[in-house]
């Protein structure tokens, strides 16, 4: 089911394997954007498309998870991947109740400030509700000045547990949608 976010012109549609190249390009762009601002810790310095396993991971996201693509005027400008729990590679326990989990949220930085991430998170909340699940969770980088954690808080999430994955500081956040 497609969803047009009121007043923004953003259209959110189900994604699939045909979107993998666009998602990979958004991830590469995000790495470059972060690095240009001095953030080399969150996603490193190697473009996602050139990382060992990077393209394969994106392919899995678009085939094994529930992918959603945000579009503006027919151009893919954001992506969100929903799953039933956290990645097994992360030191995070599954919730003690059914949950939906944001595995990936990325937007094309050329369209920054247009509410793409917020629209995708609102869509994730609605999809979670439609599935009859009350809990939506996400984990994110908690380094820097905490800007990413604050973004999720502005979008209705509450920090729950902090974690360390190697030297990568992370934060789990949760949102009740029921």
> What are the pLDDT digits (tens) for 145-160?
889 999 999 999 999 9
Which pLDDT value is given to residue 7? 60
pTM of the predicted structure, to 2 decimals: 0.91
Residue with structure tokens 């012109």? 9
Joined together, the tokens standing for residue 74 give 């027919």
Phi, psi at 120, each rounded to 5°:
-65, -40
Torsion 29-99-154-130 (CA) sign: positive
Distance CA 90, CA 70 (A): 26
Q: What is the pLDDT of residues 66-106, one digit of tens each?
A: 999 999 999 999 999 999 988 887 788 888 999 999 999 99
Residue 1: pLDDT band by 50, 70, 90 thresholds?
Answer: very low
Which pLDDT score, from 0 to 100, does residue 77 have? 97
Domain locations in the chain? 3-136
Per-residue pLDDT averaged across 100-115, rounded?
Answer: 93
The DSSP line for 61-86 is HHHHSEEEEEEETTEEEEEEEEESS-
Q: What percent of the chain has pLDDT over 70?
A: 96
Bridge-based pairing state of the strands 66-72 and 75-83: antiparallel
Average pLDDT value for residue range 136-150: 92
Instruction: Give yes or no for residue 4 having a pLDDT over 60.
Output: no
Average pLDDT taken over every residue of the chain: 91
CATH class of 3-136: alpha beta
């Amino acid at each position: 089911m497609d969803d047009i976010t009121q007043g923004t012109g953003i259209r959110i549609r189900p994604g699939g394997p045909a979107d993998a190249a666009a998602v990979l390009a958004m991830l590469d762009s995000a790495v470059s954007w972060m690095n240009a601002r001095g953030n080399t810790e969150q996603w490193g310095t190697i473009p996602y498309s050139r990382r060992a396993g990077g393209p394969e991971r994106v392919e899995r996201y678009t085939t094994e998870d529930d992918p959603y693509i945000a579009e503006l005027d027919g151009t893919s400008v954001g992506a969100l991947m929903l799953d039933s729990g956290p990645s097994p590679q992360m030191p995070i326990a599954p919730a003690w109740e059914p949950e939906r989990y944001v595995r990936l949220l990325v937007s094309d930085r050329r369209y920054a400030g247009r509410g793409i991430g917020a629209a995708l998170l609102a869509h994730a909340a609605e999809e979670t509700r439609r599935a009859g699940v009350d809990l939506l969770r996400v984990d994110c980088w908690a380094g820097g000045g905490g800007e990413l954690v604050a973004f999720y808080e502005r979008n209705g999430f509450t920090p729950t547990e902090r974690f360390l994955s190697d030297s990568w500081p992370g934060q789990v956040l949760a949102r009740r949608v029921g």
